[in-house]
Structure 1
Amino acid sequence: MDGEQYEPQATDGKAPAARRRWPLRRGTDRTGRRTPLRMAGVTLAVLLVTLAGVTLGVLAGGRVDTDIGPFQATLTLTPDTSGGTTVDIPPLGALLLDSHDGPTHLTVRLGALDQGRTEALIDDPASIQRASISAVEDVRSGVMRLGLRTVASAVLATLLLAALVFRNVRRTAVAGALALGVTLSTLGAAAATLRPQAIEEPRYEGLLVNAPAIVGDARRIANDYSRYAEQLQRLVGNVSQLYTTVSALPVFEPAPESTRVLHVSDMHLNPTGWQLIRTVVEQFDIDVVIDTGDITDWGSEPEASFVGSIGVLRKPYVYIRGNHDSARTAAAVARQPNAIVLNNSITTVAGLTIAGIGDPRFTPDKNTSPAGSGLTQQVADQVIGAGEQLAQTIGRSTRPVNIALVHDPASAGPLSGACPLVLAGHTHARQVSKLPEQPGRMPTQLLVEGSTGGAGLRGLEGEKPTPLSMSVLYFDRDKLLQAYDDITVGGTGEAQVNLERHVIQDPKAGEQVPVSPTPTR
């Protein structure tokens, strides 16, 4: 028979004429030992099963969820020949770090911001420094848990696969031991070649390709912001002193029935702006806060929790979307109990009738540029068209509009004569002007606010950071602008607060008297 050999069998006690040969196992010699070819085949099979099991185990179990500072993050290990780390920040893009060598790639995906931890950072500037320290520990702890989970998953997957393929305890055990050795050596190689300095030299993908131009050197900005946070308490205290001084100025004394509006714009995710806003709201007895947009930088989901401080103000908060704010950002603002989001609509708050429209663009990857400069004709038509839409809405209104809100001053032109005052932002620089008058229509004044967030991280890029700015507007009983105070908080290294008071000589004409003396602290 095929595959069988016969040993001769004795029939009469003498040398047998023919012997029957017992069957031998394939891949063995006459003594029953495995041949080299069979041993090589078994070894190769064990190695292949081990590699397959390790790969499946890493893909299936090499993942942990952890908290990194205020972020909820997911850490993932995947097989890769080049190593390295990817920090994924949806929808902005990714940072690619040459962090280590070896056949493993680490992906850190930042998810939503935890509201409680984010509010704690905003409320306590000192906690920013503590959070930066704890974030390192968070990453280290998460990576350790990820490593242990990956090893366990790889070994378990290999044991299960080997048991199904071989159905042999010994070979299954060998495959499991090999899986343990392969996984530990791979992770050990990554740890041995770790380069912490790689975080200082990232490569960018997606919208983040503009990050170097926008924020400059990350280390210097972090140092500048740390210094800035240390100065915050003194700056906020100066605002309180400033109000006491300004109250005694003889040039203008707001009447008790005056309506006081705080105009802010272009916060750009700077938490120090909220500290200043809260102080001014309390000290100046503000009735309404008006925000002309760009409260965020990228309009992403993680940034949405930044607007949670609106509710803490406990004052009506009227907001329009800027070009850095998404529809998601506007929805997050609208969820605040005291917020009103205007988008080609009108509202009445504290006796003031306010109309507003959001910026027609969503360009989070663009730097701020002066109004009307560098715009293509199509974009210019969009921006001006927004002002035309709002002018038509005001024209259909049955009640006179006191204030119109646009983000880009380029949208203000069509609003000339539609209402006495237009507020805008976008340029990160204060500007006061009169719109060209329309025959037979009321004069319209345009007030462009600077950046209440100091232009965010961009403001720390230059040698002199962008100051934080906001304005307090005083309206008389007829809801006409009587005066306004321009408040400016100096940047890093300039621990001072300035206030300039401007009095409108003829509120109906929008003419001003000379600026009063400027208290400085």
Structure 2
Amino acid sequence: MARAPTQLQALARRLGTAAPRARRVLTVLAVVVATVGGGTAALAVHDRTARLSVGEIRMSLSPGHRGALDLYVPLVDWGVRYAAIRLPARLEVDLRTVDRDAARRVAEAGRLDAHEVQAEARDALAGYLRGSILIAVLAGALTGLLVALAVRSRNGPRLRWTASLAAGTAVAGGILLVVLLPPRGALDRPQYYAFGPDIPRALSVLSDAQRSAGVLDQELDAQLVGLARLVVDPARRTSLGGARRLTVASDLHNNVLALPILGRITDGGPLLFAGDLTDRGSPLESNLLERVVHLGRPFVFVTGNHDSDLLARALARRGALVLGRFGPLGRDGRPRPGSRRDPTVEVGGVRVAGYGDPFVRLRSEGYRDRYDDGGPSAEDQQAFADWLRPLRGRVDVVMVHEPAMLGIALRELEADPPRRPLVFVVGHTHAAELDRPGDRVTVLNGGSVGAGGTGNLAGDPTAVGIARLLYDAGRRERFRPLAADLVSVDPGTGSSTARRERLDVPVERDDDAPAATTATAPAPAPGER
């Protein structure tokens, strides 16, 4: 019995020793958190307005976002985003006003002194960043000092230590901002975005741009009064003015509501449709969708796993270019004479071939779903690679519905790169993607133009997706892909994003990262195939 009080006394002594230690740790944490929080809050509330020769810009920072530089124009509701900041913060530059005289000079002369404006913008941005970093350091140090004063106690760390901790944390944060906050590297991968009440308005910029000299960036240059030229040097790249273009779409899934949008984007030009025009390929759907052949001149089609042999023949009779492993179908539903030796067709100066989906639905089997959830087998992939091998050097664009069909072929192209550019147009995944396994190989997926279609309304929300391929092709210039535009629109809100990937520049590779491959792309959920 005498030992129990002794044990209790020892426990009390240990608790008495631990309590001050815990208090000191909590005091240090409170000072550090307050310093970081004060500096972050200062970054969020600090903004600056600068006057340039072309107008007035407002600069601000939004911590907590994926690092990016945003240039936005509220007047036209369009912006451009560059992933050029390594800090988790978004540096936003909004064009608030446009100088009337500057706009008149641009309209009359048709050009802008981009170097002068670029220097003005760079100085304004550098001044804003310097001021933001200084304010963040001072605000963080002051907030940390106030917390150190508030939590000081007789048993806690001394005030001079906590004050030094606040100052040191603020200075370390300032150094981190100096290293990570300013935009770094080439701003060469813009992502365009907009907010609109409906799909037609969100996509109307593409329709307008098609009537101009170029697509997307030329239209935005005009709207932003040269703002995009503040950060992009056009002399470094081949001009896209006058470039030829192909519209790329897939996975309509019987959603006839999307046909006017598709017609507007194509605007009478060539349309490459990479499968899944329908849900079952039944006669009813074929009658409803045969009018799609008039949306492209020509309308080029390969079957998907939701299409049927009946649909393919019906489209061929109406004048569509229905491509398969044995070449285009004639109006009688059979491959054209001689196409087994050369299954390619010329579309807009480009040699195009197509490979029908191995899971296409058959009329003789009642249009049942033949799709295997495991995707194309190794035998299917090998058959495609064998079919493609003799076409290398003679074909520019190859259309295939499912990206996984490319597995073996892409590995062969990686081991033995082609001498001429080769573009694969695919679909099936309902996700807009662009993959470049090599400098001369591109895999382009426009997403789902039908937003998942009437057969997938119960699945996850799917964006409307359309792509466009810009290229050179002529007597002197063989097929040379220049850029790809990928447009995605939320059908519920009308919010849209558009990004451009240049294809006439070498692929940037991380030596430590494995080579990209489309063969392992995940298949969509069963309700979204």
TM-score computed with the length of structure 1 as normaliser = 0.45
Report which of the two structures shows the higher radius of gyration computed on alpha carbons. Answer: 1
